[in-house]
Amino acid sequence: MGYQAAVAAAAAATRAQTATAGASLLELISGRALTYGTWAVRGAPVAGLLVGMMPGRLNDGEQDFIDRMRLAQMREAPSRVRYTWENDSRGNPVPHGWHTPPGRDSVRVRKMEYDSRAQAYTFTTEEEPRITIVWTPDRTDEKKPWNTGNQARPVLPNPVVVDPLPHDTGITATTSPAPEEKSFADYILILPFPDLPPIYIYLSKPPVEFLEVELYSDFKRRSRQGMYEADHMPSAAAVKAYLRREYPNLKETEIQEFSSQVAAIVVPKDVHQKISETYGGRNTPAQIDLDSQSLRAAVNRNLDAIKPALKKHGATESQIEAARVKIHELNRSVGLYE
């Protein structure tokens, strides 16, 4: 390499390192790179983030191709197939494609904008927690290991399984969202370079953590790492019974939706399945009726029932009580009780 070329390469590497400072570099896991340059992500929390990428042409057949110029003018583009990260039987993230019906087939189209401070092109996602995708045409040439905190390596089947998006609304689930609740975190990103194709990305959320408390709906699409489950506090069945009694004019679809807007706590699978008062057959009609009479009291009973087991898994008294406080705060915030 000549002197000028070496200087240019060093300058490019410096620019790339500046652009990705404080970010986690994205690793090519298999296949060939879709673009030149360096991709990275930054944000809090970044741990557990997975980004799948493929060219912007999502469907087979020339008639499905949306040319770059027209795509750049759109805010949404139709696609017969969209992708999510799902967990296999071992808790490893696996890309999964879904044939999407009309009404669920629109992918957001966004342009990556130049950030003069970072000297790179960036895009910040619109869902929480927000993360920023960074791209620079330069290479960092760094040899350091790549890591975003995700301990589970993705499994990339070939080909990726593509299933119809289920329409069955009669399915209920206690530990995972029903199929009709499937949500997508995907975008088509446009870079202002004519030789770069639009890039389709699909994101994962960070994995859940022991004793984490959020609304149950916020745990959708988050890896349980093969170890945990989200336990409703109070049970979804108790919330439904309460809503049917107190608000008889509510539609069943509204009751189903509201019952996912209830606090949940992340606990080990064995604690949920073997000890929780409201898991499976233990959640009898009598238990449901009792809990529905006072949802606040139900939370306290349900949490007290698993408290000794949580301590055996390493939880402290203060951690459990802090979780109790947040559970009540969340349930008050959505109007379940005062």
Full DSSP string of 196-219: S--EEEEE-PPPP-TT-EEEGGGG
Res. 81: pLDDT tops 90? no
Residue 241 amino acid letter? A
Residue 111 DSSP SS3: strand
At 309, the amino acid letter reads A
Which of 56 and 297 is assigned the larger pLDDT? 297
The string of DSSP letters for 171-198 reads ---SSS--GGG----EEEEE-S-TTS--
Choice between 286 and 86, residue whose per-residue pLDDT is larger = 286
Q: What is the pLDDT of residue 85?
A: 77
Q: Among 320, 314, 308, which residue's Cα sits nearest to residue 276?
A: 308
Instruction: Render pLDDT for 122-175 as a digit per residue (tens, 0 to 9).
Output: 999 887 767 888 888 866 554 443 444 444 555 555 555 566 665 443 323 223
Count of CB atoms situated within 10 Å of the CB of 323: 22
State how far the Cα of 212 lies from the Cα of 230, in Å rounded to an integer.
9
What pLDDT, on a 0 to 100 scale, did the predictor assign at position 24?
57
**Distance between CA atoms of residues 50 and 154, nearest Å:** 8
Q: pLDDT by residue (tens digit) across 231-254?
A: 999 999 999 999 999 999 999 999
pLDDT computed for residue 152 by the predictor: 54
* Positive or negative: CA dihedral 71, 73, 75, 76: negative
Residue 17 has what pLDDT?
A: 54
% the chain with pLDDT above 90: 35
Check residues 31 and 77 and name the one with the higher pLDDT: 77
Mean pLDDT across the stretch 180-202?
Answer: 77
